[in-house]
Amino acid sequence: MRHISLLGSTGSIGTQTLEVVRACGDYKVCALAAGSNVALLEQQMREFSPKLVCVWTPEAAADLKVRTADLGIRIVTGMEGLMEAAIIPEADIVLTAVVGMVGIRPTIAAIRAGKDIALANKETLVTAGHIIMPLAKECGVRILPVDSEHSAIFQCLQGNERNSVSRILLTASGGPFRGRKREELKNIQVEDALKHPNWSMGRKITIDSSTMVNKGLEVMEARWLFDVPLDKIEVLVQPKSIIHSMVEFEDGAVMAQLGTPDMKLPIQYALYYPRRRFLAGDRLDFTALKEITFEAPDPVNFPGLALAFRAGRTGGTLPVVFNAANEWAVAKFLSREIGYLDIADSIEAAMNAHTVKEDPDVDTILQAEQETYAFLEQAHRS
């Protein structure tokens, strides 16, 4: 039996991971971590009997301790607790599905402890890929992608030589506002942006998908995961999310991974790699589908993608600023303090104001994150 530590267990990816674990029956959950959803954590603790559980705040921990006093499970808090969950000796694999840069330190700790990483938390690779990937190599651990596009690329690469890749074709749905002009995007409300046409996901990534910022983060994520230069990565809009991504090789062959949009497939593939096993769910019906259509992304009305390419090409701390500015802006948009178009504008303003530091260590990354928040907060107030 293999053991899994699951960070972000109460979220969209976290709960789907537990569905996979429940259906497969041969993984033991040894640690769970979440932010503040103690009601769901309590249920998860009762069902999966982990050895250790982490919640972010002491208040949430106090509440959880009362709720689960009969279980005698150890409960820890904060970054220290999250790191402890990431390096728990029993775990063979750590699936990191927390949202945001809070994922960096536990991922590094888990790699150092020799754990394989199933990575959903893309912000970690975007901002610290230059640290994570060499460290994983040095420690002999695998970084297994959970993001559906990256899992698709990873699946297409099986049995092929990495140096024979000529292009990565990263597919995008284009989000709920595909085809609209900037003028028409001005008054978009939170409720509109939270409706993704194909995928049901956490709030932050759903907004990111609507602005194309998610695709920008994925371009940078792909660059680190597959060790390819940015100019070999192309984004292709494919509105129905049937093709999860493609790889073109130097002989002109294109491999693609297709399927109904279901995150349980990439989650299960990461947990059982290189094995495939049965997964319940809908199958593609090509005659009913009839066609799969493609478009180029729209750089004018959805500038998030171009800004990501700029951040990725410049490197250093600029991807941190791109990511942190987006996190700040999405949170403000969700709390209705800024408008929809202000998201991309905030990212651009923060990037323009930033002086890039090369090859940042984790402290420098987290410092750039805080400076970005402070810059935007001040600009917002004045």
260's contact among Mg ion, ligand NDP, none, with CB below 5 to 8 A by partner kind, is: none
Q: Which of 3, 4, 5, 12 binds ligand NDP (CB under 6 A)?
A: 12
Q: How far apart are CA 276 and CA 286, in angstroms?
A: 22
* CB 82 to ligand NDP: min, Å: 5
Cβ closer to ligand NDP: 26 or 108? 108
238's contact among Mg ion, ligand NDP, none, with CB below 5 to 8 A by partner kind, is: none
Q: Which of 2, 199, 348, 362 binds ligand NDP (CB under 6 A)?
A: 199
Question: What Å distances lie between residue 327 and 75, 84, 196, 316, 324, CA to CA?
Answer: 28, 26, 18, 18, 5
* CB 331 to ligand NDP: min, Å: 12
* CB 176 to Mg ion: min, Å: 15
For ligand NDP, the binding residues in 349-378 under the rule CB under 6 A are none
By CB under 6 A, residue 33 contacts ligand NDP:
yes
354's contact among ligand NDP, Mg ion, none, with CB below 5 to 8 A by partner kind, is: none
Report the interface residues with Mg ion, using CB under 5 A: 147-149
Residue 303 preceded by cis peptide, ω within 30: no
Q: How far apart are CA 51 and CA 29, in angstroms?
A: 8
Stretch 129-158: interaction string toward ligand NDP, x if CB under 6 A: ------------------x-----------
12's contact among Mg ion, ligand NDP, none, with CB below 5 to 8 A by partner kind, is: ligand NDP
102's contact among ligand NDP, Mg ion, none, with CB below 5 to 8 A by partner kind, is: ligand NDP
What's the CA dihedral at 155, 91, 85, 6 to 10 degrees?
A: 40
| 65 backbone dihedrals φ, ψ, rounded to 5° | -60, -40
Question: What Å distances lie between residue 147 and 14, 119, 154, 294, 339, CA to CA?
Answer: 13, 7, 10, 21, 28
Judged by CB under 6 A, how many residues of this single chain contact ligand NDP? 30
Q: Do 120 and 37 contact (CB within 8 A), yes or no? A: no
37's contact among ligand NDP, Mg ion, none, with CB below 5 to 8 A by partner kind, is: ligand NDP
Q: With CB under 6 A as the contact rule, which of the stretches 181-189, 199-207, 274-282, 338-346 interacts with ligand NDP?
A: 199-207
Q: Do 222 and 168 contact (CB within 8 A), yes or no? A: yes
For ligand NDP, the binding residues in 40-99 under the rule CB under 6 A are 56, 82, 97-99
By CB under 6 A, residue 21 contacts ligand NDP:
no
* CB 126 to ligand NDP: min, Å: 9
Cβ closer to ligand NDP: 63 or 147? 147
* CB 369 to ligand NDP: min, Å: 13
Q: How far apart are CA 158 and CA 242, in angstroms?
A: 20
Cβ closer to ligand NDP: 57 or 160? 57
By CB under 6 A, residue 259 contacts ligand NDP:
no
By CB under 6 A, residue 333 contacts ligand NDP:
no
By CB under 6 A, residue 8 contacts ligand NDP:
yes
Cross-strand partners of 29: 4
Cross-strand partners of 256: 246
b/e sequence 59-84, b meaning 16+ C-beta within 10 Å: ebbebbbebbeeeebebbbeeebbbb
328's contact among ligand NDP, Mg ion, none, with CB below 5 to 8 A by partner kind, is: none
- Least Cα distance to 27 among 36, 18, 37, 40 occurs for 18
Cβ closer to ligand NDP: 197 or 202? 202
Distance of alpha carbon 324 from the chain centroid = 14
Which chain residues interact with ligand NDP by CB under 6 A? 8-14, 33-37, 56, 82, 97-99, 102, 120-123, 147, 199, 201-205, 263
